[in-house]
Structure 1
Amino acid sequence: MLKVSHLQKSFLLGSRKNVVLKDVNLEIHAGEMVAIMGRSGSGKSTLLNILAGLDQADSGSYHFDNADVLAMNAAQAADFRKRNIGYIIQNSVLISSKNVFNNIALPLQYSKHSKAQIKEKVSFVLAALHISEVGFSSVEVLSGGEAQRVAIARSVIQEPKVIIADEPTGSLDEETEDDILRLFKMLNEQGKTIIIVTHNQKVADSCDRIFYMNNGNCI
């Protein structure tokens, strides 16, 4: 499903070139749940941004279902993300002026779904993630675990093929972390491919495979 070959990426820091990804090779199959581990600054988040179509590599190749992602222009990359990728970050930002239901519905509204379709899809995902009781609550009253469930719901509402999560349990207590891991397992059992960047060995051990980022490489 997803294959990266000889990926390289660098950033300029003043006049100095900072090489973040040196020669990354990675292949993930449809329906897998994988973890990516490594020290801070090892290139994990940069790799995720490239996999999500949010950033471009300097060189190398990235194919998703045989599509050449790195050859896409900005409009094509945006369409690729919309159709294929659900992205979850640590402390996901929810829109405080909208309630839980409308935060989750936002991607559907952008995609011009009808009100009936939006109601059906949001109601379904609220129930699936066990947060129906807070569906019309302000996001400002949510617990950390509830807010992360809402962020996950918003990321999966358009039924992406791949869910990419960057430290999704990093700021949660152990009980809530277990709940989120069960949610990922449930989504994975439903056929979603899941890629999780984590420092947490427990989270990594719940995955099918673990990749390690070190000095700009992935093993």
Structure 2
Amino acid sequence: MNETLFQKTIDIARKTIDDAHLKPGDITDLIMVGGSSRIPRVRKRLQDFLKLPILDVNRQVDIQEAMAIGAAIQAGVLNGAVSTNQLPLSRDIQPFSVRIKTNTGKMYVLIKRNTKLPCEGSITLTYVQKNRNAISFDIYIGEERLAGDNLFLKTIKIEGIPPAPGDLQKITIQMKIDTNGVLNVNASTPGGPSSTLTIQDCSGRYTDEDLC
């Protein structure tokens, strides 16, 4: 009855390993957190997936102590008392891809997930401008192909766009995320108007329903 839930553990592990450009056989040590880590079936599934003769879990690490130290380090970073430059194994990343959707429905990724903060990305698009002096772009975070399956953040709109030769207008979208997770977006045309937008937290948040 719970096999589909157990499979989620494997799916998460596989995606994490792929993001790290590793293979299951490269993993030698494992730290498991939470009550479900004590379920024998979960441990056996992970052991088989990682091709480990013995699932050596939390043998060298006190998991409660590790979590407390991690929380203390992060608190120090947020308060300016600790710099991540002093912590070679600690770094903040953008956990979800940041993308835009055009009026045609096409999606473009400007900042990929797991990019180290601070980070930035940009794209220049060409539009047919006939009878149009304004255009807007929806900003999403997530990894899904369809816009509606991602988390919508805000819309940035650029207005007063002057006529362009051949009715072909170029618009550049630039994104920057600072170490605090603040996203700054700029949309501009060559020598024309521009628009800016600030989003205080673009890391993504789970709803109560997602967590249940």
Q: Which structure carries more relative contact order (alpha carbon 8 Å, separation 6+)? A: 1
Alignment TM-score > 0.5, same fold: no
What is the TM-score when the length of structure 2 is the normalising length?
0.25
TM-score normalized by the length of structure 1:
0.25
Is the radius of gyration larger for structure 1 or structure 2? Answer: 2
* Higher-helix-fraction structure: 1
